[in-house]
Amino acid sequence: MRKTLERKVKETITSIRQIYPKLKSGYPFIAFSTGKDSLAMAAMIYEAIAPEQLPCLYVHHSLEFPENLDYAKELKERGFAVEVLNPSLEYFEMIERGIGFLTLVDPWCVPMLVGTGLLDWLKRKGARGPREGVMFRGISGSEYSHKLHSGLELYSRLDLPCFNPLLDFSKEEIIEIIKERYGLHLNPIYQHMDRTYCICCYTSDKRRQAYSEKHYPEVCKRYYKDIEWKLFDSGLIDQSNLAPEYKTKQEKLQRHGFIYWRRHKAQDIIGAIKYRLSTDVLVYHIRESDWIATKHLKPLDGK
């Protein structure tokens, strides 16, 4: 491995060794996507704190590639403390409850799918809230700049403290570290696409779309059918001020243009949010009483 890269890795490992003792009183973990960045980060963290091992938490949901599970199992056999988690609700379950389709304005997929799995894990470990957890997240400098992220930040959508130790590394350096320093291989899904994101993802290019449509046609069909119903059959597209060329099905569906959509309030129709108290009692915070049949909810102490 190149000397300059070797020095960067050693500096990162030294930094992790200095930080880690201050985190042990909480619930630190590695947010593990089975992608290259989280793999390189996990390997460096394991080298830094050996013989201890932080759990590598991989949240698998209905839009994730099943191949990721095989890769996670392989890494576990190689000594990584991989734990496979599930979200509180799957993607299509949330759609059926009216959360609305994904947009870049409000991309709820990460906090509502991956995030709920992580928060459930923290609760099972005994954390009283997300701020007692510490997430190590693999974000390399090739994907996000220092303008968007810092070494230590609060992931506001989960209210979760987060370390980003790979911001100074490029994509090429990450791959070199994985292969040459640690002798690991990448997730085989990279043979078919450049990123390990979901089957139906707004980052999709032609390679990902072709692979997804060939291997998971039913998932794609259900996913795009739902978007088509919400945009076109509902008449919502006709209410927009977009130019005609941006109202076509080809633009909104095949090119994933729907993710730039700004949802109307009527599409955010989750009427109540469920909470579980420390006494294990379920309560519901009602957001919009007009959107739910309150007659089916029994009042507790008049509320």
At 166 the pLDDT is 94
Q: Please check the confidence at residue 269 and state whether its pLDDT lies above 60.
A: no
Q: How confident is the model at residue 146 (pLDDT cuts 50, 70, 90)?
A: low
For 23-62, letters b (16+ CB in 10 Å) and e give beeebbbbbbbbbbbbbbbbbbbbbbbeeeebbbbbbbbb
What secondary structure does DSSP assign to the chain, as a single string?
A: --HHHHHHHHHHHHHHHHHGGGTTTSEEEEE--SSHHHHHHHHHHHHHHTT----EEEE--TTS-THHHHHHHHHHHTT--EEEE--SS-HHHHHHTT-----SSS-THIIIIIIHHHHHHHHHHT-SSGGGEEEEE---TTTS-TTT--SEEEETTTTEEEE-TTTT--HHHHHHIIIIIS-----GGGGT-SS---SS-TT--HHHHHHHHHH-HHHHHHHHHHHHIIIIITSGGGGS---GGGSSHIIIIIT-GGGG----GGG----EEEEE-TTS-EEEEES-GGGS-GGGSPPSTT-
At 145 the pLDDT is 63
Least confident of 27-31, 75-79, 150-154: 150-154
At 267 the pLDDT is 56
List pLDDT tens digits, range 234-252: 888 887 777 888 888 888 8
Q: How far is CA 119 from CA 122, 129, 157, 301, in A?
A: 5, 8, 12, 29
CA distance 194 to 166: 18
Q: Please check the confidence at residue 303 and state whether its pLDDT lies above 60.
A: no
At 141 the pLDDT is 75
Q: What is the mean pLDDT of residues 198-226?
A: 88
Least confident of 57-66, 195-204, 210-219: 195-204
Q: How confident is the model at residue 257 (pLDDT cuts 50, 70, 90)?
A: low
Question: What mean pLDDT, rounded, does the chain reach?
Answer: 86
Q: How confident is the model at residue 209 (pLDDT cuts 50, 70, 90)?
A: confident
Domains of the chain and CATH, by start? 3-191 (3.40.50.620), 206-264 (no CATH), 271-303 (no CATH)
Least confident of 39-53, 186-200, 224-238: 224-238
Q: Please check the confidence at residue 51 and state whether its pLDDT lies above 70.
A: yes
- 256 or 166, which is more confident: 166
CB 101 within 8 A of CB 261: yes
Strands 152-155 and 56-59: unpaired
Q: Report the predicted TM-score, pTM, of the whole model to 2 decimal places.
A: 0.83
Strands 27-31 and 133-137: parallel
Q: Please check the confidence at residue 34 and state whether its pLDDT lies above 80.
A: yes
Greatest pairwise CA separation for the chain in angstroms: 69
At 219 the pLDDT is 94
Q: How far is CA 96 from CA 90, 91, 101, 137, 289, in A?
A: 10, 9, 11, 30, 18
Q: Please check the confidence at residue 189 and state whether its pLDDT lies above 90.
A: yes
CA distance 40 to 192: 20
What percentage of the chain has pLDDT greater than the value 90? 51
Q: What is the mean pLDDT of residues 265-270?
A: 57
CA distance 31 to 50: 18
Which of 252, 259, 217 has the alpha carbon at shortest distance from 105?
259
At 49 the pLDDT is 96
At 39 the pLDDT is 97
List pLDDT tens digits, range 90-119: 999 888 877 777 777 677 888 889 999 999
